[in-house]
Amino acid sequence: MPEKSEQSKRKNIPERFQVARSTLVFDQLMNQLIKIGGIAIIAAVGSIFLFIFIQILPLFRGASVTYDRTFDLDDLEVDAVGIDPWSELPLFVSPDGTFNFFDVADIGTDYNRGVFTVRPDFPGDTEFPFVRYDQRRNTALFGTGDGRFSAVEVTFNQTHPPHRSREVVPVVTASPLLRLGRDDAPYEHIEYVDAGRNKLAVAIQRVEGRQVVYALTLSQRQTLLGPGPLTREREFSLTDLFEGEPAFVRITADTDFVIVGTTEGDVHLLARAADRFSLRQTVRPFAGTADEGIHSMDFMFGDLSLVFTNSEGRNVMYSVFHDEERGYRILGRTKEFERLPFGKGATFYSTSLRNKAFLIGAGDFATIRYATTKRTRWESTLDFEVRHAVLGPRYDKILFVDTQNRLHLFDLVDRHPATGLRAYFGRIHYEGRAGPEFMWQSTGGGDDFEPKISMVPLIIGTMKGTVYAMMFAVPIALLAALYTSQFLKPELRRIVKPVMEIMESVPTVVLGFLAALWFAPIISGSVPSVFLVCVALPVSVFAFGAIIASLPKRMRVLIKDGYEFLYFAPFMFLVGWVAWSLGPVFESIFFVVADPDSGVVVADFRLWWQLNSGMSFEQRNALVVGLFMGFAIIPTIFTIAEDSMSNVPDAFRSGSLALGASRWQTAVNVVLPTAAAGIFSALMIGFGRAVGETMIVLMATGNTPVMNFNMFEGMRTLAANIAVELPEAAQGGSLYRSLFLGAMLLFLMTFLVNTVAEILRQRLRDRFKAVE
């Protein structure tokens, strides 16, 4: 019965009102396609978010250390330990001057060489009470009991025999035994640095019950056949330059400084200049602690920072940096790490040769720490007591020699040691800097460069460019939209609106090109003119309105409604031209300053700004970016705002005018509140457009990641940073993933702005709702 009733109803409907079955099917199909399209868009956005998240997730992981193998070294004497660049040929230095190399590649095959010995050409059966291996320079230092030393360089060559993929061949080159210090006292410590022309050796000897320090400068002539012999130049006694008993000594890589640590806990910075040494500074790393003595003192990679521990396990770092007030380099405390457990000072230490990580520990405890971020990458209590430890040169192996004379190899995986929340968003005290700061500098000129990857300067730069662009674009776009929708004649509106929409299609690379090569040079020499124009034009608008309002009615009716711009435009251009022309006069009155180089009094705004504000003035700056990026987002804001104002019901306008309100009062008090939700949406979309802008910022600024809102200085935004750094970013590397983090921040910023905008838009819509 229900089916018959439906059929009867359908028969009673006139044929012209009946919908064809094909139309209903097509409508249902379109509804499903729209749903599928919406779901697909959500899935696509979610997939992008998920992909970016997967890319940045490894940046916040720690190091992974896994056990590899253990070898028994039997009766091999081990005074010092090193390893080749490929971590295949550990070396063990013995007190008789021999190098024992242990081939750990292809173990168990006929091609493995096992343990083989290489001894430099030392005279006779020379014994060396002091032996030390410097992994950073691949140099072994040998000291005799009669005040002589030799620096032995170890180089590793790789060959490719047919039976194995690689075979590492060591070459040992020893310097002659050179006299340093007293000939009747053994060495407590020797340090040697070869800086090309500048070669310096420093030693501590125990003489008559006290520790003394000697320094020796050396030279080596270059001939057509290669470097000549290493010869002594001049010897110095450094003991009288400081107080205390020396226990540690280190030399910076440029040989400009000798750093001496004493048993009392003082660290003395001795400066070398013109073949003389002088005491420049004394610091006490553990001042104010229960034990102020120094238990260990070692260089970080780069020889600019020293890592200290005391017997309580406290771990701090001091770095050499240039002091602006004093005008020379000094030592300053930069880091304090977590204390080593069990209240022990470090008994072994090894610095990474790839980054600012270091391996440190005591007894059976070992930990890897990253100096820049103070982050512990890995730590563990081992099954053995460590006597020697070395980090592989490629930061992929750890070598331990225990107290039972066994060699332990561990695999190290730590692909992104320089990253982390602190690296990206924290204030960090970098090497060579006077204090902690936010900084972005992803690459440098040397292997010992410390990456600076703070996102804060990029976020500040993004907001800086956006703020200046919005300051320029918002007043112009909203006032233009208000005038076009409420005052301009409909036939003219049909011309203006498409023209503004066409403006939005102008490629931003063209705008960036014009801003950088044409507009920036003009602006840099005419800032007072720009300021006068920015002040004069708004004043001219109000002045013109006041003049028109004061005219008699018989004269005002001569100006047709909607054609006011025909009278105002010439007046505005005239005022702008006059204001621009008065710029040099304005500059000669208010921006006069004495040139610091010549002493001549000149009218120069650029020089005046630098001398009075203390900030720089660059040709490509935030002002240029703000004007051109503002020009790029004006069409976006104008189009949406104008649509919102035009869609206000005519009944509202008519009612307001009928009650005696003027057109201006109607526009401000009726139209604007009613269209507030749409206007706010226009502002937020314009804001998001400015945040993501790339080409204008990339071309019209110096792309310097600075931390200020100086309008006469450039900046670097998140979007521009991705464009600049992407060609240098190796796939899967820390920089590569850091750029994805910048993309994620952009994604979150626009998502947050759009979410907040939608919430506020709904509230404004409810508040100013006119009809249900």
Which pLDDT tens digit goes with each residue over 609-638? 998 888 889 989 999 999 999 999 999 999
Cβ atoms of 203 and 219 within 8 Å: the answer is no
Going through 345-385 in order, the beta strands assigned E by DSSP cover: 348-351, 357-362, 365-370, 375-381
pLDDT of residue 229 exceeding 90, the answer is: no
pLDDT of residue 9 exceeding 60, the answer is: no
pLDDT band at 331 (very low <50, low <70, confident <90, very high): very high
The DSSP bridge partners found for residue 248 are 261
What is the average pLDDT across 362-384? 94
Is the dihedral angle over the CA atoms 729, 731, 734, 736 positive or is it negative?
A: positive
Cβ atoms of 450 and 372 within 8 Å: the answer is yes
What is the average pLDDT across 708-729? 91
The pLDDT value given to residue 448 = 62
pLDDT of residue 226 exceeding 80, the answer is: no
What span, in angstroms and rounded, lies between the C-alpha atoms of 450 and 432?
Answer: 10
DSSP state, 165?
Answer: S
What is the average pLDDT across 533-554? 83
What span, in angstroms and rounded, lies between the C-alpha atoms of 207 and 183?
Answer: 10
DSSP state, 649?
Answer: -
The DSSP bridge partners found for residue 81 are 92
What span, in angstroms and rounded, lies between the C-alpha atoms of 574 and 580?
Answer: 10
* pTM metric for this prediction: 0.87
Which pLDDT tens digit goes with each residue over 650-681? 888 888 888 888 888 898 888 988 888 889 88
The pLDDT value given to residue 10 = 53
Query: Backbone phi, then psi, for 366, in 5-degree steps?
Result: -135, 145
The two three-digit tokens of residue 388, written as one number = 């020697």
What span, in angstroms and rounded, lies between the C-alpha atoms of 362 and 344?
Answer: 7
The DSSP bridge partners found for residue 72 are 406
pLDDT band at 23 (very low <50, low <70, confident <90, very high): confident
pLDDT band at 768 (very low <50, low <70, confident <90, very high): low
Nearest to residue 367, comparing CAs of 335, 332, 414, 320?
Answer: 414
pLDDT of residue 24 exceeding 60, the answer is: yes
3-state SS, residue 726: helix
The pLDDT value given to residue 392 = 94
pLDDT band at 166 (very low <50, low <70, confident <90, very high): confident
pLDDT band at 8 (very low <50, low <70, confident <90, very high): low
Angle between helices 622-646 and 456-486 (to 10 degrees): 40
Going through 605-709 in order, the beta strands assigned E by DSSP cover: none
pLDDT of residue 103 exceeding 80, the answer is: yes
What is the average pLDDT across 67-96? 92
What span, in angstroms and rounded, lies between the C-alpha atoms of 39 and 24?
Answer: 23
CA torsion angle for 641, 646, 652, 654 (degrees, to 10)?
140
What span, in angstroms and rounded, lies between the C-alpha atoms of 408 and 392?
Answer: 13
Beta strand 365-370 with 357-362 is antiparallel
pLDDT of residue 690 exceeding 70, the answer is: yes
The pLDDT value given to residue 5 = 54
pLDDT of residue 307 exceeding 80, the answer is: yes
pLDDT band at 478 (very low <50, low <70, confident <90, very high): very high
3-state SS, residue 89: coil
The pLDDT value given to residue 313 = 92
pLDDT of residue 124 exceeding 80, the answer is: no
Nearest to residue 132, comparing CAs of 183, 232, 213, 202?
Answer: 202
Tell me the percentage of the chain whose pLDDT exceeds 90: 53
What span, in angstroms and rounded, lies between the C-alpha atoms of 762 and 39?
Answer: 23
The two three-digit tokens of residue 381, written as one number = 């209590």
The pLDDT value given to residue 370 = 96
The pLDDT value given to residue 17 = 65
DSSP codes of every residue in 708-719: S--TTS----HH
What span, in angstroms and rounded, lies between the C-alpha atoms of 128 and 98?
Answer: 10
pLDDT of residue 223 exceeding 80, the answer is: no
**Domain positions in the chain:** 81-174, 456-525+619-771, 526-603
The pLDDT value given to residue 772 = 41
What span, in angstroms and rounded, lies between the C-alpha atoms of 71 and 78?
Answer: 14
Which residues are CB-contacts of 424 (< 8 A; sequence separation ≥ 6)?
Answer: 453, 454, 455, 738, 741
CATH H-level superfamily of 456-525+619-771:
MetI-like (1.10.3720.10)
CA torsion angle for 520, 523, 524, 528 (degrees, to 10)?
-170
CA distance between the termini of the chain: 41
pLDDT of residue 465 exceeding 60, the answer is: yes
pLDDT of residue 209 exceeding 70, the answer is: yes
pLDDT of residue 130 exceeding 90, the answer is: yes
What is the average pLDDT across 149-157? 93
What span, in angstroms and rounded, lies between the C-alpha atoms of 470 and 461?
Answer: 14
The two three-digit tokens of residue 164, written as one number = 């194995």
